[in-house]
Structure 1
Amino acid sequence: MKILYYTSTGNNLFIAKQFGGDLISIPQLVKDNEFDIADDTVGIIFPVFFATSPKLIREFVEKVNIRTDYLFLITSYGRDGDQNALRIMKETFNKRGITVNYTNSVLMVDNFLPVFDMAEEIELKKDLNIIGEIEKINNDVLAKREYILDKELFTDVENIEVVLENTMCEKYRIQVGKDCSGCEVCTKVCPRGNIELTGEKPSFGDTCDFCLGCVHHCKTHTLTINDEANPDERYRNPNIKLSEIIKSNRQTI
């Protein structure tokens, strides 16, 4: 079994690790230009970004050639949009002649800083039985159950992908404060390789997924979103190490 995953703050890597098999980072596949995947079972685990998936994932799904008897999709989500994100990916695969056998979702802490107060969000989700939910899904996968999550579509956005990019670029901006230490963590956790140090401070290119990994993992909390009220509130899945996220995402030597 091969598990392909995209992680920013560790939630989806945590899910992926519960399945076992060969864990393969999608950002690393893209970096190495590897788009041929073959195994008896293949899973894709990814986060919901504004009722769809990260742009890098959508680009990957348009290119990857998956040969398998059983393909499953799992997404993590914080509020809504899980069904829409899964449906978009499933339909993309179907148009390319690739059958999706199973889709499901896992409710977890939402780390989208412009919307959620992290302290409140962590407190709200503290009693979730995440392990139990993942175990149920894993049992389905091991049994190769055929199931497609089918809930009411998120219908108030006509073109979710376009709205996502416009919202991220126009409404929210990552700012660099004066206390940057030049530690380069932000450059290492970026799944796009979109950040480099210029004059010992990070500068951003134009391929940002707005995953906010750079902001959440900033050691000095120098990176902020607009003029956020609580810049010290950050999140990383407590079961995942920063080194694991760097290994998953790092695009440069």
Structure 2
Amino acid sequence: MKILYYTSTGNNLFIAKQLGGELLSIPQLVKDNIYEIKDDSVGIVFPVFFATSPKTLREFVEKVNIHADYIFLICSYGSDGDYHALKIMKKTFNKRGININYTNSVLMVDNFLPVFDMAHEMEIKNDSDIEKQIEIIKNDIISKKDFIYSKKHFTNVPFIEKILESTMTSKYHIIADDGCSSCRICTKVCPRGNIEVIDGKPHFGEACDFCLSCVHHCKTHTLSINDEANPNERYINPNVKLSEIIKSNNLYQ
């Protein structure tokens, strides 16, 4: 079994590790121009961004050829949008003649800083509940269960694809203040290779996924988001090491 994953704060790498199999980072696959994936079972584990998936992943899904008897999609989400994200990705694969056997979601800490207070999120999201959700999904995948997740949704898919993401990213933006230590961790955890440290300050290109990995990992709080719910709080999955996220996302290694 191969599991392709996209991670920023470690949530989806944690899910992928719990499910087992051979883990393949999607940013690294894109970097190495690998778009042919073969195995008996293949899954994609990803976060919900604006009720869809990250731009890097959407571009990857448009090109990747998956050859497997059993294909599954698992997303992590913090409040809503999981149904839409899974539906959009499944629809993209189906249009390309690739059948999806199983879709499901895991409710985890929502690390979207402009809306959620990380301290509160960590207080109300129980690790044991998360592990129970993953265990159910793992057993389903081992038995190769056919299941397509369904949920009452709040709007239609075309609206999500065309409107919500652009609205959110125009409303919120990353701010680089003084105080950078030039550790360059932000450059190493960026899944798009979109950040450079120039003259002791992070500079961003035009390819941002708005995954906020750089902000959450910034040790000096040099990076922030406008209108944060709690500017003093950050989140990294406690079960995942920084070195693992760098290995997954660093496009300069």
Do the two structures share a fold, i.e. TM-score over 0.5?
yes
Q: Counterpart of 1:82?
A: 82
Residues 131-142 of structure 1 aligned to structure 2 (within 5 Å): 131-142=131-142
For residues 138 and 127 of structure 1, what CA distance do their matches in structure 2 show? 16
Alignment size in residue pairs: 253
TM-score by length of 1: 0.96
Determine if the alignment matches structure 1 residue 231 to structure 2 residue 242: no
Shift of 1:230: 3.0
The 8 Å contact of residues 84 and 154 in structure 1, kept in 2 or not, is answered as no
For residues 22 and 83 of structure 2, what CA distance do their matches in structure 1 show? 26
What letter matches 1:202 in structure 2?
Answer: P
Cα deviation digits, residues 174-199 of structure 1 (max 9, x gap): 11111111110000000000001111
Shift of 1:158: 4.2
Cα deviation digits, residues 207-232 of structure 1 (max 9, x gap): 10100000000011110001536322
For residues 83 and 36 of structure 1, what CA distance do their matches in structure 2 show? 27
Shift of 1:156: 6.1
For residues 98 and 22 of structure 1, what CA distance do their matches in structure 2 show? 21
Q: Secondary structure at the match of 2:62?
A: helix
Q: Counterpart of 2:176?
A: 176
Residues 234 and 67 of structure 1: is their aligned pair in 2 closer, same or farther, counting only changes over 3 Å? Answer: same
The 8 Å contact of residues 115 and 228 in structure 2, kept in 1 or not, is answered as no
The 8 Å contact of residues 180 and 201 in structure 2, kept in 1 or not, is answered as yes
Q: Counterpart of 1:29?
A: 29
Shift of 1:165: 3.9
Residues 200-211 of structure 1 aligned to structure 2 (within 5 Å): 200-211=200-211
For residues 143 and 20 of structure 2, what CA distance do their matches in structure 1 show? 15
Q: Counterpart of 1:187?
A: 187
Q: Which runs of 5+ in 2 are unaligned?
A: none
Q: Counterpart of 2:102?
A: 102
Q: Secondary structure at the match of 2:44?
A: strand
Report runs of 4+ in structure 1 exceeding 4 Å deviation.
Answer: none
TM-score by length of 2: 0.96
Residues 50-199 of structure 1 aligned to structure 2 (within 5 Å): 50-126=50-126, 129-155=129-155, 158-199=158-199
Q: Which runs of 5+ in 1 are unaligned?
A: none
Cα deviation digits, residues 106-137 of structure 1 (max 9, x gap): 00000000100111111111365111111111
The 8 Å contact of residues 116 and 229 in structure 2, kept in 1 or not, is answered as no
Identity of aligned residues (%): 70
Shift of 1:163: 2.6
Q: Counterpart of 2:247?
A: 247
Q: Secondary structure at the match of 1:84?
A: helix
Residues 95 and 221 of structure 1: is their aligned pair in 2 closer, same or farther, counting only changes over 3 Å? Answer: same
Q: Secondary structure at the match of 1:90?
A: helix
Shift of 1:157: 6.9
For residues 166 and 155 of structure 1, what CA distance do their matches in structure 2 show? 16
What letter matches 1:182 in structure 2?
Answer: S
